[in-house]
Amino acid sequence: MKLYSNEVGVFALGGLYEVGKNCYGIQYKDEIILIDCGSLFPDDGMHGVSQILPNFDYLRENQDKIVGIFITHGHEDHIGGINHLSKNIDIKNIYTSGLAKGLIAKKIGNKRTQQLIREYSEDDVINTKHFSVSFYRTNHSIPDSYGIVVKTPYGNIVHSGDYKFDFTPIGPITNFSKITKTAEEGVLCLLSDSTNSLLPGFTLSESKVGDSINNIYQNIDGRVIVASFASNIHRIKQIVESSIKTKRKVAIFGRSMENSIKVGTELGYIKAPRGTFVNGHHIKDLKNNEVTILCTGSQGEPLAALSRIANGTHKDIKIIPGDTVIFSSSPIPGNKYSVNRTINNLFKQGANVIVNSPLTDTHTSGHAGQGEQQLLFSLLKPKHFIPIHGEYHMLYEHVETAIECGIKPDNCHIIENGEVLGFTKTKVRRVGKINADSVYISGSNVSDISNAILRQRKLLSENGILTIIVSMNKKTKEIISTPTVTSRGFIFMKENEELTDRIKSLAVETIEGYISTHNHIVADNLRKALFEPIRNLIYEITERRPIVIPVIMCI
């Protein structure tokens, strides 16, 4: 990638063709501004993966240019990679605000890194050598959400953040005056949230969801179990308030939910009388109509609290017939199967399940529909447009809306993660690509998983493993006993004796052929000689390809 010295580069390390791991960069000469650094939920096929992050190779190579990272808001798909980033790259400043600051500080246990956090307000302007960064308040499903304006030598580049235009919000309304002021200065390029670009009109107001949840609570006699995003503080606030109105205590399950409520309470977003929150062990001492269980797992995550409750494996909570489970969320693209599986398991356990629908309104999106997107285009009047934060069809539909609002088709740019656009005052060009492959994280040891390991895990999950063990006398070059065949996840041994006998016979035949042409037994070479014939035989009979592991024991 060769960015000319007179060009402002714009790129994404994540967030394009996907919903998650948002990370965007603006570069000019010797300075890079980063906006957000998020993570992505792994899907069911990513065995053993706990987190998916952007690739930081380019940032590592250019870390001396990084002015700082600017955070739009505190959702995991915007802050989930900061801990990993700060451990691997020298980041000088983390600019954030309000709730996001508290969540990031909790996420980063390292005190040295916590000292890099700089809190900004809506009135702040942060000047660097080549850039000037300012902020405007937006509405989203979490407090303290902002759009970010980066003034470059060729005009303003606006990052919308995750936003919607909520005219009856919980908390302050969007700062339209700052948006129009930015437009008056001129907007070179808009990078804008595409998640709801297929939704006509405007997104439902968050306050309407609160009314709906209140109505649902008034008509429930048993326990209420609510699953929501841990970071959706507005929603958690509404659930707590509905619990207080109906004289229910609230028990929290899920570490991320506990952290969010702790931060939200400390910052005053969640207010509840002393004694409202109770330890999960104490709910057995309460009547069923005095209990709200607030937990994680709204996306069907296998290890989250609600999934374990649904499976009957949670150590503290078992479904009691008559329990009502409220999904105060909608499935993220790719999670629908997991969510449906959890819902089915809850019904099997005897629970009533309420999901978001036009009749219940237990959830509303924090993302702009087409009506709001049209309004933002009309307010900002950007010369160029880059749709971000969405799968390809979302980006495509967002471009269609932009063109309807008068932006020239040639000035709408759908790019991939890693692709760099170079802007001057009059021109834009596709510069090239930087490495933006996803990084897969396993467990808490922050070790990267290669694509090869993921492929092996997928193969294991689909086809299993077969091991053949052969013991040999190294001196006489004789097979000591009949080879042993074992299988995990491939075949049931007792029902497949004919296949295992053929594998044993082929192994003996192959070894004897090897011995007849070699003076010495080399275990590694003998293993290689066994592998291909046995794998081909298995595929010929079963049309499956388990991982075949020959083991040679020379005695």
- Contacts of residue 158, defined as CB under 8 A and 6 or more positions apart, other chains included, come to 147, 148, 149, 150, 182, 187, 189, 190, 191, 192, 380, 382
Helix, strand, coil percentages in the chain from 3-state DSSP, rounded to 5: 35, 25, 40
Give the residue range(s) of CATH 3.60.15.10 domains in the chain. Answer: 8-201+365-449
pLDDT tens for the 555 residues of the chain, in order: 689 999 999 999 999 999 889 999 999 999 999 999 999 877 666 666 778 899 999 999 999 999 999 999 999 999 999 988 988 898 889 999 999 998 898 877 666 667 889 999 999 999 999 999 999 999 998 899 999 999 999 999 999 999 999 999 888 999 999 999 999 999 999 999 999 999 999 988 888 887 888 888 988 989 999 988 887 888 899 899 999 999 999 999 988 888 888 888 988 889 999 999 999 888 889 999 999 999 988 777 777 888 889 988 888 889 999 899 988 877 666 677 788 888 899 999 999 988 865 545 566 788 999 999 999 999 999 999 999 999 999 999 999 999 999 999 999 999 999 999 999 999 999 999 999 988 887 755 445 565 666 666 666 777 788 899 988 887 777 888 888 888 887 877 667 788 888 889 898 888 888 888 877 777 888 888 899 999 898 888 888 888 888 998 887
The correct answer on CATH 3.40.50.2000 for the domain covering 206-354 is no
Give domain 8-201+365-449's CATH number out of 1.10.1200.10, 3.40.50.1000, 3.40.50.720, 3.60.15.10.
Answer: 3.60.15.10
- Contacts of residue 499, defined as CB under 8 A and 6 or more positions apart, other chains included, come to 491, 538, 541, 542
pLDDT of residue 363: 64
> CA distances (Å), 29 to each of 152, 417, 426, in order?
11, 21, 18
- Contacts of residue 143, defined as CB under 8 A and 6 or more positions apart, other chains included, come to 98, 99, 171, 233, 234, 269
| Spatial distance between the Cα atoms of 412 and 396, rounded to a whole number of angstroms | 10
| Spatial distance between the Cα atoms of 443 and 428, rounded to a whole number of angstroms | 42
- Residue whose entry in the numeric block shows the structure tokens 């008068």: 406
**Is residue 387 a contact partner of residue 414, using CB atoms and an 8 Å limit?**
yes
Give domain 464-554's CATH number out of 3.30.9.10, 3.10.20.580, 3.30.565.60, 3.40.50.1580.
Answer: 3.10.20.580
* The 447-449 sheet, strands edge to edge: 51-53, 439-442, 447-449
| Spatial distance between the Cα atoms of 273 and 287, rounded to a whole number of angstroms | 19
pLDDT of residue 110: 66
Q: Which candidate, 443, 390, 440, places its Cα nearest to that of 415?
A: 390
| Spatial distance between the Cα atoms of 141 and 232, rounded to a whole number of angstroms | 6
Give the residue range(s) of CATH 3.10.20.580 domains in the chain. Answer: 464-554
Residue 201 burial class via C-beta count within 10 angstroms: exposed 0-12, middle 13-18, buried 19 and up: exposed
| Spatial distance between the Cα atoms of 539 and 546, rounded to a whole number of angstroms | 9
pLDDT of residue 514: 84
Q: What is the pTM of this model?
A: 0.79
| Spatial distance between the Cα atoms of 40 and 20, rounded to a whole number of angstroms | 5
Angle made by CA atoms 34, 191, 132, in degrees to the nearest 5? 50
CA 551 to chain centre: 40
Cβ neighbours of 350 (radius 10 Å): 11
- Contacts of residue 53, defined as CB under 8 A and 6 or more positions apart, other chains included, come to 14, 21, 39, 40, 80, 81, 84, 438, 439, 441
* Partner residues linked to 271 by β-bridges: none
Cβ neighbours of 168 (radius 10 Å): 10
Tokens standing for residue 248: 């229910």
pLDDT of residue 445: 47
Tokens standing for residue 38: 């998020």
